[in-house]
Amino acid sequence: MAAEIISPRSIDQEPLDPAFALHRGGKMEIRATVPVRDADDLSLAYTPGVARVCTAIAEQPDLVNDYTWKSKVVAVVTDGTAVLGLGDIGPEASLPVMEGKAILFKQFGGVDAVPIALATKDTDEIVETVIRLAPSFGGVNLEDISAPRCFEIERRLQEALDIPIFHDDQHGTAVVTLAALRNAARLTGRTLADLRAVISGAGAAGIAIAKILVGAGIGDVSLCDRQGVVHVGRTDLTDVKREIAELTNRGGLTGSLADVLEGADVFIGVSGGTVPEEAVAKMAKDCFVFAMANPNPEVHPDVAHKYAAVVATGRSDYPNQINNVLAFPGIFAGALQVRASRITEGMKIAAADALAALVGDELSAAKVIPSPFDERVAPAVTKAVAEAARAEGVARI
């Protein structure tokens, strides 16, 4: 169900919806980090002093990372085609979300971010535009770009640029899901290798979750779209789904979502659909239900708790929220810290493992993932990602 679009009563009437009051004038501003108090300050911050720095960078381009903010700033780029539950609402209407993303980068990871909403849906134009903007940024966070274009856009940008390109709707969700699933398995005395998972939704998040679970050693995982299980025997698959079919469903399952849920250890919902209670009832003993559609989970938590040992959602009003803010600030902070050329699967898995480890002895059915407000989160993820970048040879310092 799409989110309801609400307008203020009038700019001259009160009371306004508090969300409108908070957003008036925007949620961000640019602040100087150096003083400009007098002519001497001005001559250093701008001409003539700045010319010496420009000349040095022209002679040694890598110095841009030391003498500008490039190495600690991310572009948050969207075309406004898949914004939250609102869908394709356009670039202007996406800006409140992009501003929100930018302040989360700063609040939770100490990373500066600039919202950039593009007035095009054309894949080639988006790629070309970001490539031309890239000299100003240390990384690019792609946001709320609809599938399947988001896969090609991310791939082409990463091939063209030597800075991290990260589509958060895919990989942020995948990292936090893996962390929660590791702890759910630990709580019930199992490992990932013991689990068979079923994912409902073969869009950006579903495909990324399937990939990271395979990379992390899941026993098996089947991905389902509207036609049922994504498997190699189907003739209607896109290139992206054909690729994921080769990596997943080692058990060779076919049929509907309800068919493959029977006996499954894990349900992961990123589809927005509804799963009948009778299908959940046929899952394995001590199963896990991660129903992450917002605002209406695929399985209502009250129903899920009848059958599952661990229940997670995408909502903040239930325990175990799978919230991307646990991942992306620290992932980018770690990548920027070592000036990584890309964000690898190993760096994502390292981020998930760091998140999972923070729960520690507090592990319970109501806590398989830390709170976004746990001050240990960003430092732990940053450290793990930086170390993984060095281990995988993509770090430059």
Tokens encoding 124: 């080639």
Q: What are the φ and ψ backbone dihedral angles of 106, each rounded to 5 degrees? A: -70, -45
Q: CA 85, 333, 183: angle at the middle one, nearest 5?
A: 65
Q: What are the φ and ψ backbone dihedral angles of 311, each rounded to 5 degrees? A: -125, 135
Residue 67 is a catalytic residue = no
Q: Which helix (H) or strand (E) holds 391?
A: helix 377-391
Report d(CA 45, CA 73) in Å as an integer: 19
| Residue in 46, 106, 285, 306 annotated catalytic | 46
Q: What are the φ and ψ backbone dihedral angles of 391, each rounded to 5 degrees? A: -65, -30
Residue 307 is a catalytic residue = no
Asked if residue 236 lies in contact with residue 227, where contact means CB atoms within 8 angstroms, the answer is yes
* 35: number of Cβ within 10 Å: 9
Tokens encoding 317: 């009003």
| Residue in 70, 101, 241, 348 annotated catalytic | 101
Q: Which helix (H) or strand (E) holds 287?
A: strand 287-291
Q: List C-alpha distances in Å: 274 to 132, 291, 312.
A: 42, 10, 15
Report d(CA 215, CA 336) in Å as an integer: 24
Task: Please tell me whether residue 73 adopts helix, strand or coil conformation.
Answer: strand
DSSP code, position 162: S
Beta strands 266-269 and 287-291, pairing class:
parallel
Half-sphere exposure of 57 (CA within 13 A, CB side): 13
Catalytic residues, by residue number, are 46, 101
